[in-house]
Structure formats: structure tokens, C-alpha cells
Amino acid sequence: MLVRVWRKHVNVSAGQRPSPPAVPPQHHRRNSVSIRFAGRARTMAVATGLLAVGALVTPTAVAAEADAPKATVAQLKAVDSAVEKSDIAGTAWYTDAKSGKVVVTVDSTVSKAEIAKIKQTVKTDSALEINRTKGEFTKYIAGGEAITTGGSRCSLGFNVQDSAGTKYALTAGHCTNIGSSWSIGSTVGSSFPNNDYGLIQHSNPGAADGRVYLYNGGYQEITGAGNASVGQSVQRSGSTTGLHGGSVTGLNATVNYGGGDVVYGMIQTNVCAEPGDSGGALFSGSTALGLTSGGSGNCSSGGTTFFQPVTEALSAYGVSII
């Protein structure tokens, strides 16, 4: 099974800022979150055709609720480790301290036998919740405005600067991993897997705009960065699908994209995204929250999308929002 990296082929000259697509192309993806693609050979490949996936409106629970005392912190850590050890591709999970459960989301590629393997590895059903989502988890590759390298397109997250005033752009690490020369400048930092953030130094510092493009002719001022919270209303801007909103459904999610590409500490949301939206901005009002990593579904029928917390990226590079 291939994990498809959605790259948009475009013709953009270096330093030229591409205009948002008038009608964002529809793409489909394949990949995973907090997901282990164990036993499945998944390789990153340039893809122009996308696998159609269904809507993810409300996940269908496949693990029965059990009347039992809440698991302890130690037990939850053990369950989390056991889920990771099961190494099943197409799975994502996070710990919900309020419910006392480790919540696992499995995509359409995960079989009943693999779900049984997760349960067998965990052994404590009362501390485990498994939800099924339609579609396959995928890294999105093809702020919010388009940035390009070679024949691939991603999205700019937030423009930032260091203490000397040097201007940079934050985007996804799985984007900066594929190219050193971008339409806006050169890659100077990249962290993927484990994390999913990268840093591009602007070749034209004067073009670095501290706002996020809203794809309606308007912009959102970003005045600082913060940490997401469960239930928080958020918006995402990306060069394929423009502006979409939703809410945070989980924190500290682990995502397994296959082929050893596992990322940790992700923000889980019910916001949709598609190929080319990778690296784009997640924000709430004037507060920067995250960088688009990957997920499943599309913006016609809905989806689940994961984001790299932006505060971690800012700290790693010693930069701040412009």
C-alpha cells in the first residue's frame, strides 16, 4: 500500500508569490495519524490521482463502552505504549484524561483483525476507545498561501523573525524535506518525522506578511502564538482548499504515516484539508496555533486533520510571529 504525498505541479518562478487557485483542485489522500503503518510497505510517491474518501462527520465507535473505574495515569501510559507497540498502519491515538481512555482512530485500511490485535496488545478494554473514520490518513503536500519547490506545492504557515530581524516562513517539515529551494526562499531547517515543522528563509524579506490570507480577499492579523485546547473553535488556511473551520477534538496525538514516518504531540481536529494544504496555518482569532500536517477525508464531505503545534516550532528555531 502506498502512502501518497499529494504534490501539485505548478509553474512558478523563484521569488514569485503564487495566487490562490480560483477553484481549488479536489484531491484525495492516503496516510495515517497517531498511526502505525506496520506490516504495510508505504513509500512516498508523487501522485496526481487521489483516492476518493468518504465523509468523516461522526466516527463510529467500534469498541464497546464498559462500566469500569477510570484508569490511572500509569495505566493510561501503559495503554498508549501498547497501542504504539501494536504498530498498525492507519491508526492515530491520544489520551483523554477526562474520560480515562486512550482514544484510537482507525482509517478505512485497518481490518477487523488488526483492531483485534490492538485490543489483544492492550488487554485493558475499559481504558480503550476505538473509532472508525472513513478514508485513509495522508500527509498533505502540494500564512495559507502557496509555496512551491520543483513540481511540488505546499502552503505557508506563519511568517516569523529571529532576534536579528531576519525573516522566515514556517511550514510543514515533510514539505521542507523534499526541497531546499522554494519560491519564497531557501530551507534552513527541517524536522520530520517525530515533529512536522520546517523553516524557510525569505529571499525577499519585505514580502513577509504577518497576516494569514483568508481566500476571500481579506486577511487575519496574527498577534501571537498559543496552545490549542479541546473544544476550541479554529480555522485553517491552505493553498488548495482555502479557509475552513471546525474544532479541536484531541491533543498530543501520535500519527503514523507509514515507512517510519511517525509524528508525536499533534493537535487533532475535525477541520478538513486536502493535498497542497500541508504547512498551512491553524489559528483561532489572532492567535497562531499550528501547521497542517496530514489527515483523511476532503473538504466536500469532511475529514480529520492533524496539526503540528506552532509553539514547539517557534521554540525550536528561536523565532517569533511577525
Residues assigned a catalytic role: 174, 196, 278
What is residue 254's three-state secondary structure? strand
d(CA 152, CA 7): 5
d(CA 310, CA 313): 5
d(CA 37, CA 139): 13
d(CA 73, CA 60): 26
d(CA 241, CA 215): 9
What is residue 279's three-state secondary structure? coil
Q: Which residues does 310 contact at the CB level (< 8 Å), separation at least 6?
A: 157, 158, 170, 197, 225, 282, 288, 289, 290, 291
Show the cell assigned to 86.
Answer: 501494536
The 10 Å Cβ neighbour count of residue 40 is: 18
Closest CA to 255 of 7, 88, 116, 118: 88
78-112 per-residue burial string, b: 16 or more CB within 10 A, e: under 16? bbbebbbebbbbbbbbbbbeeebbbbbbbbbbbee
Beta-bridged to residue 244, according to DSSP, are 236
78: left (phi over 0), alpha (psi -120 to 50) or beta: alpha
Q: DSSP secondary structure string, 130-168? A: EEE-SS--EE-----SEEEETTEEEE--EEEE-TT--EE
